[in-house]
Amino acid sequence: MMELKRAVLLVRCAMERAGNLGLRMPQTKVVLCGCLLAVLLSGAPAWAQIGSERYSSIIIDAASGRELSSVNADEPRYPASLTKMMTLYLTFEALREKRITPDTLVPVSQHAAEMSPSKLGLVPGTKMTVEQAIFGLVTQSANDAAAALGEFLGGSEPAFAALMTQRAHALGMEHTIFRNASGLPNLEQTTTARDLSRLAAHLLSDFPAEYHYFSTPSFRFHGRVFTNHDHLLESYPGADGLKTGFITASGFNLVTSAVHGNVRLIGVVMGAARVAERDRHMMLLLDRGFAMMGEPGGEPRSEGRNVALLSHASAVPLPPPAPPAPPAVGSGPRWAVRVGAFSSESAARRAAEAAHRWTDAGRIIVSPTSHEGRAAWRAELVGLGPSEASSACTVLERHKINCVVVKPEV
């Protein structure tokens, strides 16, 4: 029976891959037979599991970005419906910039309506509001709503996916490529646990007014009630979002944020064999992370029958950060590099993040200001010494980025 289950799962995976590659039926049969033979001969598990080659995880402190633990955090993985975090990021950005409102109507195309489950069952030619689409993504992980949003915001889903990838790279997600708005199988759509932790951190910091959507317990739409797939919202104290994901090729994925006391952690677990395994492992990692930060995370947990796997899957916690070096005598206030004033906060943040990637200097600050009598946002890299600021500006000018070295106020 176990071998039969493995064969069925691998057949499903092969069908997804064949479909993505555009193979015809005879070619698909070859792929399926090869996969079936491989699993029967090798006895290899068809699903990922904690400790398997598809497993990866990371826990970070949301405030500082400090990494508390990680395993395979930079290895490529299929995001599955974690993709919708970026779909929502771009949706929240459009809301903030007033290009849309929560009540803006989103048309449903034939393409969107034909998405595979999970879905809301949208009908071609109908419309839903932006807020209904958001609720559909965070609760039901609705692929039809995600595709409809992508087409509406990007003109087409492929064009929207290109915008998603562009924004991902601007946010420092250098190892992420998006090919659709939903996370449905595509061999080219890959990410890493570390990149997803960065995306989660940006959703928290960039959209504090919209983050509450991720904790929505249920959503009523056209007479049906859709409950949130994220079980940690109920089972783990302090958990308040973000997203679950699954396709056969990825295993069960989860990105979670939780708060205990004054500490907020972000966790990513990818490649679990079962929902219960994924959730229990995430709770264990969060408990350990909160303990490292001096905040108890609840009752002690163990991985049960996964203890043996966990022994080689868990990361060795990083040593506590070294205390900052005392400032040099006479060093005075810190200098900054200003890279411009922009009409929107998001544009300023993108400019500052680009400057930081080129220079790896200072820390990013985006602050309100005015320009020619209009509200604006200033982008800066701050906390620099005079020579460091000058060198950073030289590097930026070499890459055609305007900058000004700002002396500290006395």
Q: Mind telling me the catalytic residues? A: 81, 84, 141
Are 90 and 164 in contact by the 8 Å Cβ rule? The answer is yes
Region at 41 (left for phi over 0; alpha for psi -120 to 50; beta for the rest)? alpha
Measure the CA–CA gap between 160 and 228, rounded to whole angstroms: 25
Strand partners, 177: 190
The residue count of the chain comes to 410
Are 72 and 193 in contact by the 8 Å Cβ rule? The answer is yes
Are 360 and 396 in contact by the 8 Å Cβ rule? The answer is no
* Neighbouring residues of 158: CB distance < 8 A, sequence distance ≥ 6: 179, 180
Measure the CA–CA gap between 406 and 338, rounded to whole angstroms: 7
120 in helix, strand or coil?
Answer: coil
Are 203 and 87 in contact by the 8 Å Cβ rule? The answer is no
Are 220 and 201 in contact by the 8 Å Cβ rule? The answer is no
Measure the CA–CA gap between 9 and 243, rounded to whole angstroms: 23
The answer, yes or no, to whether the previous bond of 387 is cis (omega within 30 of 0) is: no
Instruction: Say if residue 169 is exposed, middle or buried (CB neighbours under 10 Å; 0-12, 13-18, 19+).
Output: middle
First to last CA, the chain: 76
Please, what is the angle between helix 157-170 and helix 84-96, to 10°?
80
